[in-house]
Amino acid sequence: MSVPYDQGLQPERTLLAWRRTCLSFALASVVLTHYTAQEFGVIAVILGLLGAGFAATSYFLASHGYRRVHESLHARGATGGDGTPFLLATLAVLAIGASAAVYLVIAFARL
């Protein structure tokens, strides 16, 4: 692997931030599934798997994007990228939010 493009290591810091965020989303999905599985059954498992799957895919796309940006910076001095990791991270958060919302509605309906 070649040397970093800049001394501030901005692409590397961005990659590490994406990794932490995606791992947090995946963990939140799994924990939420654990606590809601008895209430929702299969729906909780599906939403948990969707959230964790979107987070994992976003994690790998962020890693791939870093490699692409790193190579692009060294070859052309400019970056190029798309918003796919952003979309998948957003979908992971939506799956987590949907699970939490359904759980709250059912919990309050029982009161």
Q: What does the domain layout of the chain look like in residue ranges?
A: 10-109
Q: What is the pLDDT of residue 81?
A: 61
Short-list 80, 77, 78, CA closest to 68: 80
**How far apart (Å, rounded) are the C-alpha atoms in residues 94 and 50?**
10
Are 51 and 96 spatial neighbours (Cβ–Cβ below 8 Å)? yes
Cβ neighbours around 107 below 10 Å, total: 11
**How far apart (Å, rounded) are the C-alpha atoms in residues 88 and 81?**
15
> At residue 94, what is the residue type?
L
Per-residue pLDDT tens digits for 54-98: 889 888 888 887 787 777 777 766 566 667 777 888 888 888 888
